[in-house]
Amino acid sequence: MLTQAQNQIIYLMFLNGILFLGLNFVAYSIVFPGPKGSKRIGYLFITCGLLAYLAQLMYQGLLALDYPADKITGLLLSGFVVPIFFISLAYYRVKRNRMDRATPGENEQ
């Protein structure tokens, strides 16, 4: 049987995974917005709202584990959300540049 603190940590890990996938989707949608008439931008706004809610749930979960309230925001933002978003954004920018560079070379041969 797990203790309440262990259950809370597992819950935070689950939320962290969902937040990671959501941040990757947001970065992907920014770099690859889709064709005209695509619904991806609408899904992006829904995902952003969901991610804000998940961040609030993570905040509450860390409060339940007796983390200091003044340090939780910095921990969530500078420790996870901002780095993951910018790393994902950089990854998809590099991927897009490689795709754009590979396309003209294939057509010329």
> Each residue of 28-75: pLDDT tens digit?
999 998 888 889 889 999 999 999 999 999 999 999 999 998 999 999
Q: Are 96 and 38 in contact (CB under 8 A)?
A: no
Q: What is the pTM of this model?
A: 0.84
Q: What is the C-alpha separation between 19 and 47, in angstroms, rounded? A: 10
Contact partners, residue 95, CB within 8 Å, separation at least 6 = 31
Q: Which residue has the tokens 């995974």?
A: 17
Domain count, the chain: 1
Domain containing residue 75 = 4-108
Q: Is the pLDDT of residue 7 over 70?
A: yes
Average pLDDT over residues 9-21: 95
